Structure 1
Amino acid sequence: MSNLEHALTYALKMKWKVFPCKRDKTPLTVNGFKNASSDPGLVNDMWQEHPEASIGLPTGPDNGVWVLDIDLKTGGFESLAKLEEQHGPLPETLKQKTGGGGAQYVWKWNGREIRNSAGKIAPGIDVRGNGGYVILPPSGHPSGNSYEWITKKTPIEAPEWLAELAAKKEDTTPQSRVPGTSSKYGEAALARELVKLSSAVEGSRNQTLNECGYALGQLIAGGELNGAQVESALHGVAVSIGLTSKEARNTIRSSVKAGEDHPRSAERKDSIESVETIETIESDGNNRKQLKPIEKPIENQLKTENLKSSIKDWILLDNRSFRLQDLYSDFGAKASSEKKTISTYLSQFCAEGLIERVGGRRGEFIHIEKEKESKRININTNTWVDNSINIYYPLGLDGLVELLPGNIAIVAGESNAGKTALLLDWAFNNLKSSYPFTQSPKNPRYETVNYFSSEMGEREMSLRARAFGHPIEAWSSLQAYERMDNFHQVIDPNGLNFVDFLEIHDEFYKVGAKIRSIHEALKDGICVIALQKKKGSEYGRGGEMSLEKPRLYISLYEPVKGISVARIVKAKNFITDFNPNGMQIDFKIEHRGSRITPLTEWRFLTQAERDNLNKDYERAQGIRPPVGEYKFITDQGEVILKTKDVQGWMKAFTNIDVEKELSRLSADTFRKTWLKKGNWFYQVSNYLAKRDKETA
């Protein structure tokens, strides 16, 4: 079973809310474990985007469990043996072996307030309670091992002595946080430090990074922020403003470590607080002077000119429109007084001519670009220079569009939709070295073509090239590189470049800025950029932010297994008598990704036509028509199941014929109304889970 199938099983059978994580246990979702869900549709969507993701389980009352974590390396098993010698052996409950060789006991939530702690019970024994999470089998571990269940029992309540040790004491200091979790206080501080760093000018960038790292290191040691989260965020911004990856990592490592030697945390946990850089000196009783940070509630800090300056810097990061709600979120404003302060500053910026309302709409603004920032274009009607570039385009795009010198094209695709296949085909057929073998009607003009891959190494690239079936000499004009970031520093400004792909795991708002950097580096060259796209989304990572600079934007998706669709989202330089935006073509990727076979012409389709065509493909492949036609009558009318939900149940409940059970259940609701409109989906899911358990 895949990780997706296991995640669906946990969601449907155990009723657990789960979410995807990286192998290092940090979340892959925007809001960490807060995005966890037991909805099969949402779970399916999350793992479709990250197929190999580990499975995260939030602990606490929502999922009804807390976890006792026994660490192998820090003496956890020895400590547990002493506790069992004193109180008696632990009863059998759900238990797993961690990837690091430790063990985790999963206990039923007993209503007591149990929060996260590290070593509070005994050395090497941690607790994951309210506000924490653990990783579930069969997820992988950085060591190369996997998580495994030791016992598969229903969680029971922990012995009273253990629950007492784990329970939160009213006078305790702030608890340690698990990776990926931060307090509101810490999140607000992190957002402001990132804005400060992103606004640093050349010559002060490394020093600013050092200051930001130190300030955030204090909060890491104080339990307000997660170290991996901070280092990842700082590194991303640092390289985006021009620092090298190595330089950034060294500065971050040293500055954060220095900050951790002087822990700092929020004094109040019941309201939003922010970090002030003001410090006072007080004695520790041994005639040594210590720096003591002063924390102020955000209500007070919002009235300072420093905040106004930070908001101005935030606005200048991007010239696209923004919403008032975005500012509230990034600056941690919750109370009405906080929001009013930010609104006041925006009104002042409007009066100063820095921003203006978008179309007069309330709560939406855009930065006003000054005339001096514009480049004068001289129009000469007596002379016409044809700047079009005679290159090969995949899928017959050359009959619809063209790219000009300095243009960017985006190929945004779901996993397995054919992004790499399309880019390799595009690159290969534009090589001068490939022309004698392909006799392409487009005689390539570029001596070399640059291909930057963030995923393929030398072996995989060679295998993909060999699949094309031509001698290795055909590829001699291709300059291929492994590269993860800062593509604007290495592209050929006057050449043909392919970026496969622009890899952003979080902070998707940076996508637009990275594309803009590449655009600014181009002169007479062209760059084709691949973006990962969430299933069902029109745009790649970064949303509409990725749509600003490209003159051609292609969206790829796979509606039926083995069938891909390319859709033109944006085509500024079209050569037809009509605008091709919205046109689609169906194609197949064959022969290990080396052959793109069009199945249709480019054409416009309605959604109904698209749906019917997808059904034809499924019938041709012998695929059973999708379920999802099941109708149920609730106390407030008719509802219809979604295909993806039924398919998720079919994977999770293997002991029953899900379609047969749903047909019976559907007919039953027409005879007697017993489903509630508000929770009918969960009633149906519970029924299937019960039937599956009875049949097992």
Structure 2
Amino acid sequence: MATIDRQATTLALAHALSAAERGLAVFPLSRTKLPALRSPHRDDPTAPPCHGECGRFGHGVYDASTEPERIRELFAAAPWATGYGIACGLEPHHLIGIDLDTKSGTDSSAALRELALRHLFTIPETVVVLTPSGGRHLWLSGSPDVVVPNSAGRLAPGIDIRGAGGYLVGPGSRTAHGVYSTAPGTSHLAPAPCPRALLRLLTPPPRTHHPTPSSAGGHGQGLVQFVAAAHEGQRNTRLFWAACRAYENGIGDELVEPLVDAAVQVGLSEREARSTVGSARRLVGGRQG
């Protein structure tokens, strides 16, 4: 059972309510930075994708709300929460998070400056959140007609993007490694508009569409949707499970590209996704050989 730090939970709730007043949809996080409430569907891997339509808590970023009463209910259901997540891509800010990591061994801030010089844009003055590891999160507002996907290292090494379906750890959150805080002089700011040139970089051309083969039928499409509904922390597990089922049913090779596409859309790198699918193919092949 999770240890309850009532003071940390009270502070996290207070910060979350303050963020909600600024139009930011929030939900509780544990010390691991993952959603504090577990999925009500976790014991049923064949359950259809659910983004909260069932009416229960435990859908991660899809629990996020700006309504004070609902936020209090979420935290009451997770008294071990010590932080809060801020959902990206939602009205009114259509928040985009630029995560400048320090753990990759690269200078991600320099990489962003180089991109700005090469593509002729300037990073505006905006909210900056400092992470316990020494990284920074830049908050930018997007456009209502542009969907920015999550990505890891695609823009440049050490730069991760939090977009639609993703979330940022809110300032004031306490994690196992320390506290997230707003950089001095930026707490009063609203997320600045994302420069158009940067927005174009964040929305790459659509990947080549690989329609689910007719022979895969509804079962194949269901497996792809299962991966597409994955939250952070369960993406690899869902992809591996779906790929195993596909190979067991003789449609694995036909579903490779749709499964990889779905995994990339929820934040896995293409290399990682293909590696996971390959592991499933080898595992099932070994069973059937």
Aligned length: 211
**Which residue is 2:215 aligned to?**
none
- Judged with a 3 Å threshold, the aligned counterparts in structure 2 of structure 1 residues 172 and 180 are, in CA distance, closer, same or farther, namely farther
Q: Could you list the per-position Cα deviations for residues 246-268 of structure 1 after superposition, in whole angstroms to 9, with x for gaps in the alignment?
A: xxxxxxxxxxxxx9883329xxx
Residue by residue, what CA displacement relative to the aligned partner does 1:272-314 show, whole Å, maximum 9, x if unpaired? xxx999967xxxxxxxxxx9xxxxxxxxxxxxxxxxxxxxxxx
Following superposition, the deviation at residue 9 of structure 1 comes to: 1.4
Is structure 2 residue 238 aligned with structure 1 residue 186?
Answer: yes
Find the counterpart in structure 1 of residue 64 from structure 2: 36
Partner residue in 2 for 1:5: 14
The whole-number CA distance in structure 1 between the counterparts of 2:127 and 2:82 is 22
* Identity, % of aligned positions: 25
For the Cα contact (< 8 Å) 1:114–1:130, is it kept in 2?
yes
Is 1:130 the equivalent of 2:164?
yes
> Cα distance 1:181–1:109, how it changes in 2: closer, same or farther (>3 A)?
farther
8 Å contact kept, 1:95–1:106: yes
What is the CA distance between 1:158 and its match in structure 2? Answer: 1.0
Residue of structure 1 in register with 2:148 after alignment: 114
Considering only aligned residues, what root-mean-square deviation do their CA atoms show, in Å? 3.9
Find out whether 1:64 has 2:94 as its counterpart: yes
SS at match of 2:179: coil
Tell me which amino acid in the other structure corresponds to 1:43: I
The 8 Å contact of residues 84 and 170 in structure 2, kept in 1 or not, is answered as yes
Who is 1:17 aligned against? 25
Secondary structure at the residue paired with 1:37?
Answer: coil
Q: Quick check: 2:28–2:84 contact (8 Å CA) kept in 1? A: yes
Cα distance change, pair 64–223 in 1 and its aligned pair in 2 (3 A) = closer
Shift of 1:180: 3.6
Give the deviation of 1:55 after TM superposition.
0.5
Does the 8 Å contact 1:180/1:226 carry over to 2?
Answer: no
Q: 1:161 aligns with which of 197, 212, 226?
A: 197
Among 108, 130, 141, the residue aligned to 2:175: 141
Residue matched to 2:137: 104
Letter in 1 for 2:76: Q
Q: Give distance in 1, aligned partners of 2:239 and 2:35.
A: 15
Of 258, 269, 277 in structure 2, the residue corresponding to residue 264 of structure 1 is 277
User: 1 CA distance for matches of 2:264 and 2:113?
Assistant: 29
Contact 1:95–1:104 (CA under 8 A) maintained in structure 2:
yes
Q: How many Å separate the matches in 2 of 1:188 and 1:85?
A: 40
Q: Equivalents in 2 of 1:56, 1:73: separation in Å?
A: 21
CA 1:278 to 1:120, structure 2 compared with 1: closer, same or farther past 3 Å? closer
Which protein is richer in strand relative to its size? 1
Distance 2:203 2:117 in 1: 21
Distance 1:72 1:172, change over 3 A: farther
Equivalent positions of 1:668-683 (< 5 A) are none
Q: 1:47 aligns with which of 53, 57, 75?
A: 75
Distance 1:129 1:224, change over 3 A: closer
2:206 to 165, 170, 177: 170
Following superposition, the deviation at residue 59 of structure 1 comes to 0.8
Q: Which amino acid aligns with 1:82?
A: E
Deviations 1:312-336 (A, max 9, x none): xxxxxxxxxxxxxxxxxxxxxxxxx
Distance 1:64 1:226 in 2: 18
Q: Does structure 1 retain, via aligned residues, the 8 Å contact 2:152–2:267?
A: no
Cα pair 1:47 1:53 within 8 Å, conserved: no
Aligned to 1:674: none
**Structure 1 262/64 Cα, relative in aligned 2: closer, same or farther at 3 Å?**
closer
Query: 1:80 maps to which residue?
Result: 112
TM-score by length of 2: 0.61
SS at match of 2:115: helix
Counterpart CA distance in 2 for 1:226 and 1:179 is: 8
Quick one: distance in 1 between partners of 2:163 and 2:273? 25
Structure 1 residue 47, shift from structure 2 partner: 1.5
- The higher radius of gyration belongs to 1
Equivalent residue runs for 1:536-575 within 5 Å: none
**Structure 1: any 5+ residue segments left out of the alignment?**
194-217, 228-258, 266-274, 281-290, 292-696
Change (3 A) 1:261 1:108: closer
The answer to whether the 8 Å contact 2:140/2:194 transfers is yes
Q: Deviations over 1:449-482 (max 9, x none)?
A: xxxxxxxxxxxxxxxxxxxxxxxxxxxxxxxxxx
Q: Secondary structure at the match of 2:175?
A: coil
1:87-486 superposed matches below 5 A: 87-110=120-143, 111-143=145-177, 145-150=178-183, 151-152=186-187, 153-171=189-207, 179-180=232-233, 182=235, 186=238, 189=241, 262-264=275-277
- Classify 1:48/1:34 alpha carbon distance in 2 versus 1 (closer, same or farther; 3 Å): same
Q: Which has the higher contact order (CA 8 A, sep 6+)?
A: 2
**Separation in structure 2 between the aligned mates of residue 172 and residue 96 of structure 1, nearest angstrom:** 36
In structure 1, how many angstroms separate the alpha carbons of the residues matched to 2:283 and 2:266? 20
How far apart are 1:7 and its partner, in Å? 1.0
The unaligned stretches of length 5 or more in structure 2 are: 1-9, 38-57, 210-226, 246-258
String of CA shifts for 1:344-378, please: whole Å, max 9, x gaps: xxxxxxxxxxxxxxxxxxxxxxxxxxxxxxxxxxx
Whether the 8 Å contact between 1:69 and 1:102 is mirrored in structure 2 is: yes
Q: Which amino acid aligns with 1:54?
A: G
